[in-house]
Every structure is written in C-alpha cells, then in structure tokens.
Structure 1
C-alpha cells in the first residue's frame, strides 16, 4: 500500500512538471517554422500543441496549403496572435508580388514582414550582392511603410564576412534607410560565423527590432556560409550561446518580439524546456 501510494505521488509530480512546462503562458513567441514538419501533416493538431506550450504569439512561415485568411482563422481559434510574417527576396523585388505580401500581411494583422535570405552564388557573398539587396530592401521597405508595415532583414551568417575595415553586415545596416528597413537578429546565425550577438546589438542599438532565439550544440564548428546541420539546434541553455546576456542586452535596447526558433527534429520536445529556461529573464 505504501509503495503504491509512493508510485501515485511520483506520477502526480511528473504530471505537475509536464503541466508547468506546457500550460503556463510563455513570455516569448515562436517562429512557426520550428514545427514545419508537423504542420505539413496536421495543422490544427500542431496548433493545439503550440497552444499547449503557453505560446500566445508567433511569426508565420507559410500557410501549409491554405490561404492567409484560412490560416489566420485557425490562429484565432487557438488564441495565437501573429505578430510577424515572412517574405522571399523575390517577392520584395517584384512590385506585383509585393502587393500580395502586403495584402496577406493585412489579413494576418501583423506589423512586420521579415526576409531571411539574400540570393547569392553558392558559397560566395559579395559587396555586389549587398548593393542589389540594399536597393530592393529600401524600395520595398518604403512601399511597406506606406502601408503601415515594417521590413526586417533576418541575418543568416554569410553577411559577417570581412569587407575593408569592417563587415558586409555593416554595409547592409548602414546603407539601408532606418525609416524603411530594420533587422531581426538570429542569434545563432550571428555567433555561427564567429561574432558576438551582444556586440552587434551594442553597435547598432536602434536597428534591431526582433530576435530569433536559438542555441547551438557545444563544439559545433562555425562557418560564414549560412549552413549548419539542424540537428545542432539545442534546447536554450544547453548549447554554447550566452542566452542570458543576449536577452538582457536585447531587452535593454527595446526589442519586444522574441521568437524561439528550433529547426531540429526535436522541436516539439525542446521548445517547452526552452520556454521554461527563458521565463526568469522576463
């Protein structure tokens, strides 16, 4: 009888632990790309799991066979507010495609449109690629601003190559008009090419408006190509990024939207623990 009671108590404690990870409201949002494989199979079932994590806001990454209106209806049903969405570089560069981006952003009710990739040739990334991108970003950003939307560029690692006495990322930041273009820092893709996310926030404190919060397996070799095995994405706090200092600096410069992005095949298991790790920082 005593052993049975102890077993029941132990099960109850496990239940409380799981519940505390999954039901309390998250202080941060999530990039829905984290669950791309699950959404591709079951949109509503996956959205329920996102809700169960306590997540109340997100950044959208596609509609998984739906249109924007239908996807927004599901987000509303599960109480998850979209605060940002993505757009490809080609969509920003084409005025007709940009109209669609604007229309869908308004349907979603978001205020930011994020671009996460600048086209370039293989592993090369040059000042010519930067110049082309800056022109597209400034022009598209002006159009988006006229529609009460903000354009954010999400760094991806290859921008941190040396150029003259600084880096190509400096060129992207200083050549874009802050009235039309700002930035979403992906902290993993800042550290992966050998840079310090805190230092870049201090260098341009007014330009970073959102953040992808990620961690990287200890011992992972970095590069400047924007490539890494997604299996190296870790639960926050278990990798080699100094998440505590990064979040502290991000909050100091006024970043409001923090999106956990976990591209690993373990995202459903890892994200609740990442949320629990972040809670004391907010």
Structure 2
C-alpha cells in the first residue's frame, strides 16, 4: 500500500500511458479546472474558508457550491463566499440546490453571491415515468424563468437513473424534449450518464447548445462508486476532446467517495488533469 507521501508525489508527477499521447499534441492544456464542493463536503462544513484556501492552493479556479445542513454555502453568507473566493483568485460559478419550497430563497442568494448558474441537484418529484418527467419539465421551465429574472442560468444535473426507459423512451430525452432549450440547460455528469447507459457524445450531437456545464468523474470498474481519475472505467481524456462539440463553458471535478482523504483525492485528480489536454 502506498504511503500518503507516495500518493501525493504520484499526483504531481504522473506519466501518461501511450493511450493518451495523441491528445497531447492535438489540443490545448486543461485549464480553469472547477470543483464541486460536495467533493469536500465534510472539510467545508468543518472549515469553509480554510478548505477554499486549500483548493485554491492546489490550483482549482472555478467553484460550484452545493447545499448542505448549513445552507447553500456551508455556513457562509452569499456576500461572504463571494468575497472569499474573489480574494483567493477563485470564481463562484454555480451552485447545486433542490427545487423545493426554498427555491426562491436559493435564487435570491445565488444572485447576491454573483454566480452565473443555479443547478437543480435532483428531480423535484419522484417517479421513473414519462408522465413524471413531463411534470418535472414544466417545473424546470418555470424555475428557469425565475432564474432569468435574476440574471441566472438554470440547469439540471443528471443521475444515472435518468437514462432509464419507459415504453422505449429514455427519460432524460423526455426532459430535454419538453424543456425550453433557451432557458433550461444541462450540467451533464459524464460518469453517471455512462453508467446509466447514456452516450455523452451522442447527446452533444443531438441536443447542441444544451450542455454548457459538465461534471467529470471516474467510476470504479467493479461498482458504481466514484474513484480517482485514471483508476476506473471512464475515459476522461477522450471525453475532454468533445469540449467544442458540446460548447462546454465550464467543468467541475466531482468525487463522492474516496480511498484517501477528500483533499488528497482532489490533489491527485488535479495532477492527472494537468497531464491532459482538451
């Protein structure tokens, strides 16, 4: 088993195998790496400012918050996290919140925090049926109008179950087909889309302009759990080559489970990305 020192050393000095070499000469280096704060939810709850400082030191630039037991910004006020991130050279770009009774409060806080996007972290009503996804589409259309009034862009972050089918129709497609393409954008979680049976590239081609945000993660080969980049079944390097096809604006690293500590895993993932291109 690697020591912690060996693990961190590897994250900063990874050598890519021949599989990825073609990409190094075909595209620009990865930059402006984002992080979804759910990846460091426990450290954020314990010390939000200190954790943001550590993420900035690693090299992350774009921040996506996520609702917690302490609110949408891990106990920080909207103006407070706006100033902290600015001082650290970070940009608070987006946030994950539920579409529920506190929705308008979340919209108001996002506007005050100065972020660009507000993302529904899950479906506001349960049911893996076409009828429910049409109902959700109506809710999302209204939510997007609320965001537009506040100069925010609304989006939805998928899970793997969104790619289930009913009567031959993929539920995620029902959602895309029944929402306003100008107002309702998608934050495609590439890992869970693939695990659920979706092909991200096909979606980029079928629904142009709908995917300005990505979540990138690797998934273990033997179970549906996230892992450090390069250790699982997701072709991170290959997917990054589709940035232009997707018209992707920002992407966020997300890792829900760890073999090491969250910050060690995120250090490793950042080092991995620095060896790739897009």
Give the TM interval when normalised to the shorter protein.
Answer: 0.7 to 0.9
Where structure 2 has 5 or more consecutive residues not aligned to the other structure, the ranges are 1-5, 15-29, 67-71
**C-alpha displacement of 1:28:** 1.3
Hey, what's the Cα distance between the residues in 1 that align with 2:200 and 2:115? 26
For the residues of structure 2 that align with 1:79 and 1:68, how far apart are their CA atoms?
17
- Aligned partner (choices 129, 133, 143) of residue 132 of structure 2: 129
Q: In the alignment, does 2:277 pair up with 1:281? A: yes
In the other structure, the counterpart of 2:69 is: none
Report whether the alignment pairs 1:246 with 2:246.
no
The residue correspondences of 1:156-235 to structure 2 (distance < 5 A) are: 156-220=159-223, 228=224, 232-235=225-228
Corresponding pairs, count: 250
Partners of 2:76 and 2:210 lie apart in 1 by 33
- Greater Cα radius of gyration, structure 1 or 2: 1
Counterpart in the other structure of 1:272: 267
Change beyond 3 A, Cα 1:173–1:39: same
1-structure distance, mates of 2:273, 2:244: 13
Instruction: Kindly provide the CA deviation profile for residues 64-106 of structure 1, in whole angstroms up to 9, marking residues without a partner as x.
Output: 2232222223222322111111221215xxxxx4432232112
Kept in 1, the 8 Å contact 2:8–2:267? The answer is: no
- Partner SS, residue 262 of structure 1: coil
Worse overlay, 71-80 or 256-265: 71-80
Q: Which has the higher helix share?
A: 1
CA distance, structure 2, for counterparts of residue 38 and residue 99 of structure 1: 28
- Using the TM superposition, give the Cα deviation of residue 19 of structure 1 relative to its aligned residue in structure 2, in angstroms: 6.9
Give the TM-score of the pair, scaled to structure 2.
0.81
- CA gap 1:72/1:99 in 2 versus in 1, 3 angstroms: same
- Higher RCO, 1 vs 2 (CA within 8 Å, ≥6 residues apart): 2
Deviation track 1:207-255 (CA, whole Å, cap 9, x = no partner) reads: 11100000001122xxxxxxx5xxx311112210111221111333210
Distance 1:113 1:14 in 2: 35
Please give the alpha-carbon distance, in whole angstroms, between the structure 1 residues aligned to 2:195 and 2:12. Answer: 34
Instruction: Give yes or no for contact 1:198–1:245 (8 Å, CA) kept in 2.
Output: no
2:38 pairs with 3, 28, 33, which one?
Answer: 33
Secondary structure of residue in 2 paired with 1:240: coil
- Correspondence 1:262 to 2:243: no
Cα distance in 1 for partners of 2:205, 2:270 equals 25
